[in-house]
Amino acid sequence: MTEIKKLTKIALIVIAIVFFIFGVNLTFLYDMTLNPEGWTNPYFPRFWGGLLFLSSLFAIVMLRKKEWEEIKLTFAYLLGTIIPTLIIEVAVLAVLGSTFGSQTILLGSSTITIESVLLLLGIVSYIKQRS
């Protein structure tokens, strides 16, 4: 059995914090902070925010585990939630970016940057953990 390395624990802490912030913003503060374009369907962002909120709780629970084999599948799940989100964010910004205001473009770009850093950190820690 392999012990969880420090880089993997750091990745879990960062993922938990970012997912918690995104989850709270999308679930509870969507109309106030993240809807500058006035979209009329708040259900999908709130659903995704709830999923991110629960995923942050999974990451916090995983921090209490001692062995890599206990958290490997859930860690892959956390990385798996970042990949489609990143693809969707890039596609939406590329296709609809010309119709967005500057605030939405800035928010989308910062989200893409944060998600890219999370994905890179997660992949590096996964590779280091396996070796």
Task: Report domain extents, the chain.
Answer: 6-130
pLDDT digit string, tens, across residues 82-100: 898 899 889 888 887 777 7
The Cα–Cα gap between 8 and 68 comes to: 9
Residue 48 scores a pLDDT above 60? yes
Higher pLDDT, 38 or 101: 101
Predicted confidence band of residue 131 (pLDDT cuts 50, 70, 90): confident
pLDDT at 10: 93
The pair of three-digit structure tokens given for residue 43, joined into one six-digit string:
């259900």
**Biggest alpha carbon–alpha carbon distance for the chain:** 52
For residue 125, pLDDT over 60 is answered with: yes
Per-residue pLDDT of 68-78, as tens digits, reads 888 888 889 99
